[in-house]
């Protein structure tokens, strides 16, 4: 049995996620489960000539970290910008970081002390420093150094909320990402590199051309070998713990057992390859005899991984039959919304199209909202009477991290703390969601409070084939309902 390190992985994105989750209600997940659910256990990204060491992280950090955390039910607020930022932007970023750390959970960041993912776990406004830790070092970063990033890019992924998610739903969402990657369709992928199953072709091509960067090759071998070990362990954990109540469950378990076997074979081939090209020294990948042996082993590994992907496609279809409690299920919650935007009025029959148009206009100029959270849209609605007409007043806004300063004259800041009846749906099921929520409120005897805003919160899709998530919050009278 190959040795597996249960607390350390070579994939820094997953290591950072694992370290961050220790501060949340999801600290019970093992590293292998995080590697699996976040899709990192199943990834590969290979340059077809050099097999560059930049391969594993050559994607948008938003995609590698923020989007994969959603699979685990962890929502984040992400800032991803080029440096240098203006002084105003920098101050804004520091306040955003402050608000995120105040939740009690560190921020995942990139290129703190080396081009890997790490954590920012403290701030000190008087000294003007952050406390940060990555694979290289645990130390201090001056606020001014945020603008002097070696890679000219600042990435901060801060904790927003954690939502409970059942295993079949997490696994289903993970598979979507895993299959997307396997099919070489991960977004924000660099043009020359090949990822997923296509990575094998690229690797073999590199061994045929024999102009390999020995260091990069050894690094990729080590990362993939480590990843596939975690993959095997993840699938083992799933298959051993999957509840067997129904025929569907049994089909899933059969699939998991099959996949586990396949990935265990992949892992053993990469174990051999790792010994041929030890990290960091690298061995001799451009030697003719050695490269031919490597090609042979890669071809075997490819066959098993291809079989594994087929099982995953089958499993994805099976998993669609499990009910997703996170959607179309009403619940009560007390929440505070902070947002900034522009107020408008519309007739009830025109509100949909008007609001969309106004949101678009807002997005063009929302740079002026300091502390705004990009890519989440917020609508707030309140119906009222003006004279004889029924008109709806609405706000198109961005959620904000803290109270913005210097808002343009037509924009306002809102802070609403309230009890809400809430529901989460996919964009195309919006109408059905409203109805389900209203019916549930009726059944429960919950009264709507129509003196304040109904909030609609829109998140971007987790991957390309799905739609935006819409969360609707209807304000209610606290003492109503059972």
The CB-of-312 to another protein minimum distance in angstroms stands at 20
Q: How many CB atoms lie within 10 A of CB 427?
A: 14
When the beta carbons of 298 and 362 are compared against another protein, the nearer one is: 362
Residues 6+ apart with CB under 8 A from 82: 152, 153, 154
Which residue, 188 or 345, has its beta carbon nearer to another protein? Answer: 188
Residues with Cβ within 8 Å of residue 301, at least 6 apart in sequence: 200, 265, 266, 269, 270, 273
Q: 3-class DSSP state for residue 241?
A: helix
Nearer to another protein, 92 or 258 (CB): 92
With beta carbons less than 8 A apart as the criterion, state whether 199 and 298 touch.
no
- For another protein, give the closer residue by CB, 171 or 277: 277
* Closest-CA residue to 378 (of 331, 325, 332, 341): 341
Residue number, 26 or 418, with CB nearest to another protein = 26
For the bound state, the minimum distance from the C-beta of residue 402 to another protein, rounded and expressed in Å, comes to 10
Least Å distance, CB 128 to another protein, is 6
Q: Decide whether 15 or 419 has the Cβ nearer to another protein.
A: 15
Shortest separation between residue 300's beta carbon and another protein, angstroms: 27
Using the Cα atoms of residue 112, residue 117, residue 122 and residue 125 in order, give the sign of their dihedral.
positive
| Closer CB to another protein, 12 or 264, in the complex | 12
The residues, any chain, with a CB within 8 Å of residue 103's CB and separated by 6 or more, are: 158, 159, 160
Q: How far is the CB of 281 from another protein (least distance, A)?
A: 5
What is the closest distance, in whole angstroms, from the C-beta atom of residue 73 to another protein in the complex?
19
Phi, psi of 267 (to 5 degrees): -60, -40
Record the tokens describing residue 1, joined without a space.
């049995």
CB 278, min distance to another protein, A: 10
C-alpha separations of 344 from 309, 356, 410 in Å: 50, 12, 10
Q: Which helix (H) or strand (E) holds 120?
A: strand 117-124
């Amino acid at each position: 049995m190959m040795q597996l390190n249960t607390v350390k992985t070579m994939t820094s994105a997953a290591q950072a996620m694992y370290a961050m989750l220790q501060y949340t209600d999801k600290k019970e997940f093992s590293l292998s489960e995080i590697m699996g659910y976040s899709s990192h256990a199943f990834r590969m990204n290979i340059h077809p000539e050099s097999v560059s060491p930049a391969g594993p992280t050559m994607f948008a950090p938003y995609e590698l970290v923020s989007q994969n955390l959603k699979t685990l039910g962890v929502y984040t607020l992400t800032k991803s910008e080029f440096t240098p930022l203006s002084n105003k932007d920098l101050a804004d970023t520091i306040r955003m970081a402050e608000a995120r750390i105040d939740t009690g959970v560190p921020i995942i960041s990139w290129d703190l002390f080396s081009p890997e993912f790490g954590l920012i776990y403290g701030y000190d406004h008087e000294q003007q420093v952050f406390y940060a830790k990555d694979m290289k070092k645990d130390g201090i970063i001056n606020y001014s150094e945020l603008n002097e990033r070696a890679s000219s890019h600042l990435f901060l992924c801060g904790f927003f909320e954690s939502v409970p998610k059942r295993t079949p739903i997490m696994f289903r969402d993970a598979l979507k990402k895993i299959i997307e990657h396997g099919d070489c369709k991960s977004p924000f992928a660099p043009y020359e590199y090949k990822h997923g199953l296509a990575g094998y072709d690229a690797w073999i091509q590199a061994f045929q051309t024999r102009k390999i960067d020995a260091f990069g090759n050894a690094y990729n071998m080590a990362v993939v070998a480590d990843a596939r070990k975690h993959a095997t362990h993840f699938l083992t954990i799933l298959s051993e713990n999957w509840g067997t109540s129904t025929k569907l469950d049994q089909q899933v378990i059969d699939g998991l057992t099959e996949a586990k076997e396949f990935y265990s074979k992949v892992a053993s081939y990469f174990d051999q390859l790792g010994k041929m090209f030890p990290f960091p020294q690298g061995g001799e990948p451009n030697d003719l005899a050695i490269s031919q042996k490597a090609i042979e082993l890669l071809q075997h590994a490819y066959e098993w991984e291809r079989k594994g992907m087929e099982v995953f496609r089958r499993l994805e279809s099976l998993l669609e039959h499990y009910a997703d409690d996170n959607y179309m299920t009403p619940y009560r919650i007390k929440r505070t919304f902070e947002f900034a935007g522009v107020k408008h009025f519309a007739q009830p029959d025109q509100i949909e199209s008007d609001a969309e148009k106004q949101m678009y206009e807002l997005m063009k100029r929302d740079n002026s909202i300091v502390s705004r959270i990009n890519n989440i849209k917020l609508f707030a609605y309140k119906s009222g009477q003006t004279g004889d007409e029924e008109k709806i007043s609405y706000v198109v806004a961005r959620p904000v991290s803290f109270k913005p300063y210097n808002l343009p004259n037509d924009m306002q800041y809102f802070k609403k703390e309230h009890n809400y009846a809430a529901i989460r749906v996919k964009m195309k099921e919006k109408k059905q969601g409203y109805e389900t929520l209203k019916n549930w409120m009726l059944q429960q005897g919950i009264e709507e409070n129509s003196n304040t805003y109904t909030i609609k919160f829109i998140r971007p899709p987790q991957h390309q084939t799905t739609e935006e998530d819409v969360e609707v919050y209807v304000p209610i009278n606290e003492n109503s309902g059972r």
